[in-house]
Chain A
Amino acid sequence: MASAANLNAVRETMDVLLEISKLLNTGLDMESLSICVRLCEQGINPEALSSVIKELRKASDSLKVKEIRCFSFGNFT
């Protein structure tokens, strides 16, 4: 039962964190958030983690941009 109570507490915590995350407009969904929380709990530097996330996002953005650009260049030529 203890583990069940624990699980409850964890869920509640996650809910609170998700709320805060939404408040702050971080753009993290539940799954990413839970991964982040676990990483943080393992003592990873949050600064590094945040920069990784940002770069990952930028990378995926620029991928899209690239596709778009290729497309537009194609139009020009």
Chain B
Amino acid sequence: MAALDQKSPNVLLQSLCCRITGKSEAEVAHQFQYAVRVIGSNYAPTIERDEFLVSEKIKKELLKQRREADAALFSELHRKLQTQGVLKHRWSILYLLLSLCEDPRKPCSRVAGYGSMFAQALPRDAHSTPFYCARPQSLSLGHPERSSTLGTSGISSLGTHTLNGPTLTPQALLSGAPAQVLGDSLRQPGTRLAWTLAPGTSPSATAPTSRGPPAPPALAARTQLRPRRDGDENGEIAESALVRDILYVFQGIDGKFIKMCTPENCYKIDTKVPLSKSLRDLSSRLSELGWLHNKVRKYTDARSLDRAFGLVGQSFCAALHQELKEYYRLLSVLHSQLQLEDDQGVNVGGECSLTLRRLLVWTYDPKVRLKTLATLVDYCQGRKGGELASAVHAYGKTGDPSMRALVQHVLALVSHPILNFLYRWIYDGELEDTYHEFFVASDPTVKTDRLWHDKYTLRKSMIPSFITMDQSRKVLLIGKSINFLHQVCHDRTPPGKITPGSKDIDSPRDAAELFTDLEGAFQGKIDAAYFETSKYLLDILNKKYSLLEHLQAMRRYLLLGQGDFIRHLMDLLKPELARPATTLYQHNLTGILETAVRATNAQFDSPEILKRLDVRLLEVSPGDTGWDVFSLDYHVDGPIATVFTRECMSCYLRVFNFLWRAKRMEYILTDIWKGQMCSGKLLKGMPELSGVLHQCHVLASEMVHFIHQMQYYITFEVLECSWDELWNKVQQAQDLDQVIAAHEIFLSTIISRCLLDTNSRSLLNQLRAIFDQIIEFQNAQDALYRSAFEDRKQQREGEGEWGVSAAEEAEEKKRVQKFQETIPKMCSQLRILTHFYQGIVQQFLVLLMSSSDESLQFLSFRLDFNEHYKARDPRLRVSLGATRGRRSSNI
């Protein structure tokens, strides 16, 4: 025995071959070669090296065959075997015996004499083994002789594996089932190898012979369909060769027969290769997979080294790679299967486990997946960042659950970097977007004073479609607020304190899921961060930088809300401003301003505000008086300059100028009235003047009426209304943007209502003309009074003197006459002035009537309350109601 043990396996194998086939050594040479190949191959054991397991299996097998007594006998024998320590590999021999075990009750194909052959010739249903019945109909592709194989193998456990094998495999591959199961189910077919004695042997023994003894032509047709390893007489390629080719093509490598056809961009079988049409069709259908693979692969290869493609792009590539890896796993399993068959060295006849048809079934799902990926790749071509995520998201809107799952998976990976950007941004205010993929863009050239307005913008194209515009705006605002706090307000509160929610930043996986349920958690997170951050920012601005106080100061000083101060200032400035503009000095005016502040209620304002109040002289043009160039100014800097921007301040200045002018008219008319009242008594003694004075009074009161109505309009209908609106909005504002917007609306309303915008330029010109008339009237009246007083003074002097000479008398008479002569001149001057004035007012009223602003129409109604102008101008006769009706019909 020891000597025998030294025999090499080859010698043993040869004697085994002789023994089993019952032939001489020379005759069995072929089988021996095969045996050596199979044994010598790297045939990996698929079984557990466990004696106990094998013995249990044997017992089970015996029990299944209803041989309980034999099972007991076997355990006895097994025990005996265990007591003798001769064998080293007990499990091995036991396993061998188990493998060769056959149920004696079954018709045994091993003893296939006539009987077994005729059994095969019968319809397949004649076999009534339990396995056979259990087998699903769809599994019988191209394996008519499976039943006999099953009969011989008889390993129940493996057999059931095999039964489930083909259908199970593709799904198992996709779902990433344990590799062990995969390996088993794929390798099992290989263990049942078809064997024909010689390559040339006709396979008719195993051919489906359902129509009885086949006639020779039919047989020939059959053999053509039957694939061969090395081709047959017709020179056709064997199916197995095609399978090998196809497996290469699956990886995008040209096969022997199937090659990439570049001009047509598809895989083609060499037309010279003789091949039946069905095989040709099958393989071209299969090679589509290779084409799809190439497409996806090309995309990832091109992008993987391109750093500018960005993080989102990289993660898209990673997702594609993951999918490809799954696909490669399938291929490697198929390859090892093929390898296995090769190693067996068998002429894989009809029982070939890897057929094109099988491949077609197994690769169906991978093909669908690859197709989805390929369309995705096509669609995502040239996109990056958020745009890419939108593109992927668009493909997730499908009714196919498996496709949706795939796209969702890709989307989760793709959106991960975006979400990271987003969280960094809304919780820390940091923007680490090297490749411009995030939908918030930052402009590094913008200085801090314009940070809020210009530094950060939305990149519209990069907003992923699963984030709404509203959400993205909020996101922009949150980060902007944080940056504003840090850089402009120099507020060093750690972000965690601003938004208590920021502590629990999600893990990436959770984060990816957030996108799928946007209404819920994600929206909540953004909202919470938005509210907290905005509230904090507004608090800081209101408390630390007293934004609201500044707003009120604007109203009080620049919009003339503080009446006593303005009046007093005007009193003090009057002598200064009457001088030509070129002789004005800022420091003088500043001194006056301070005096005015100290003398009025303005002194109780906080020094912080008063400090900012200043005088500003506008650009001087020739002929200007001080009134034309004087302006109040308010200095703003730091965070509040974000609300009071340069544009806002220039608006304020324009409005101030207008209000100042209107105020001055009121002031002038007051002076005129005062003059009239004071001089009324004195001039009573000059009856020749009464006509002129009457004219003056009439015109003055007309002007007073006009200016009063104008002031009423400006104060109540323009300023107070808008201010109330602004104040409410600012109180309710949730973020700084709303404050700024409300403020801008306020300013633009004031500008347009004060006739300062371009639309009402003609109105403003009329108003200016009216103001000019008022000034002119003041001058005229002043001149009148001056000459009247002079005349009166001289008269007085004359009355007081005695003994006047004749010459003096004559001179006096001449002077009186001269004065008398000036009266009609003054009269006519006044008349002209009145005429002009009324003409302009009339024009102004016409313009007011045609204005679309309702309050202006009411103003015209008030200005012409006694319908004096209406009587004069037919254009004004259209009633208010009528114009409104006309306008609404126009609308």
Give residues in A with beta carbon < 8 Å to B. Answer: 3, 6-7, 9-10, 12-13, 16-17, 19-21, 23-29, 31-32, 34-66, 68-69, 72, 76
Contacts and interface: CB of A to CB of B under 8 A. Distances in A.
A38 B205 contact: no
B86 A61 contact: no
Given A48-B41, A63-B197, 7 more contacts: A17-B97, A23-B62, A58-B109, A60-B20, A60-B21, A62-B195, A68-B114
Interface string B188-213: 00011101110001101100000001
Interface string B18-31: 01111100000001
Contacts of A23: 62, 70, 73-74, 77
Contacts of B112: 61-62, 64-65
B96 A40 contact: yes
Contacts of B205: 62, 65-66, 69
B87 A62 contact: no
Contacts of B344: 51
A38 B21 contact: no
B100 A17 contact: no
A14 B201 CA distance: 38
Contacts of B35: 52, 56
Nearest to A49: B96
Given A10-B86, A47-B45, A59-B197, A38 B7 contact: yes
Listed residue (B5, B58, B112) with the most chain A CB atoms within 10 angstroms of its CB? B112
Contact of A60 (B22, B114, B201): B22
B84 A43 contact: no
B305 to A, nearest CB: 45
Contacts of B405: none
Per CB-CB distance, the 10 closest pairs between chain A and chain B, nearest first, are A50-B99, A26-B100, A55-B195, A24-B101, A46-B96, A40-B92, A46-B95, A60-B21, A61-B112, A40-B93
A41 B87 contact: yes
Nearest to B206: A62
A54 B5 contact: no
B31 A56 contact: yes
Interface of B: 1-2, 4-5, 7, 9, 12-13, 15-17, 19-23, 31, 34-35, 38-39, 41, 43, 45-47, 58, 61-62, 70, 73-74, 77-78, 80-81, 84, 86-89, 92-104, 109-114, 116-117, 152-153, 191-193, 195-197, 201-202, 204-205, 213, 344, 346
A11 B46 CA distance: 31
B16 A36 contact: yes
Listed residue (A6, A24, A72) with the most chain B CB atoms within 10 angstroms of its CB? A24
B110 to A, nearest CB: 5
A40 B54 CA distance: 15
A77 B545 CA distance: 115
Contacts of B213: 72, 76
B111 to A, nearest CB: 8
Nearest to B111: A61
A31 to B, nearest CB: 6
A57 to B, nearest CB: 5
Nearest to B5: A38
A5 to B, nearest CB: 11
Contacts of B117: 65, 68-69
12 contacts: A13-B87, A16-B77, A17-B93, A19-B77, A36-B96, A48-B43, A49-B96, A51-B193, A55-B38, A56-B195, A63-B21, A68-B117
A69 B113 contact: no
Nearest to A48: B43
A65 B16 CA distance: 22
Contacts of A52: 13, 16, 34-35, 38-39
A66 B205 CA distance: 7
Contacts of A29: 19
Nearest to A56: B20
Nearest to A64: B113
A10 B1 contact: yes
Nearest to B21: A60
B16 A53 contact: yes
B100 A59 contact: no
Contacts of B47: 46-47
B9 A47 contact: no
A7 B1 CA distance: 8
Contacts of A76: 213
A63 B204 CA distance: 12
A45 B13 CA distance: 13
A23 B197 CA distance: 30
Nearest to B37: A52
A28 B93 contact: no
Given A28-B100, A38-B12, A45 B45 contact: yes
Contacts of A25: 101-104
B195 A24 contact: no
A42 B96 CA distance: 14
Contacts of B45: 45, 47
Contacts of B61: 24
Contacts of B1: 6-7, 10
Contact of B152 (A28, A47, A54, A64): A54
A13 B153 contact: no
B19 A35 contact: yes
A19 to B, nearest CB: 5
A26 B193 contact: no
A25 B114 CA distance: 21
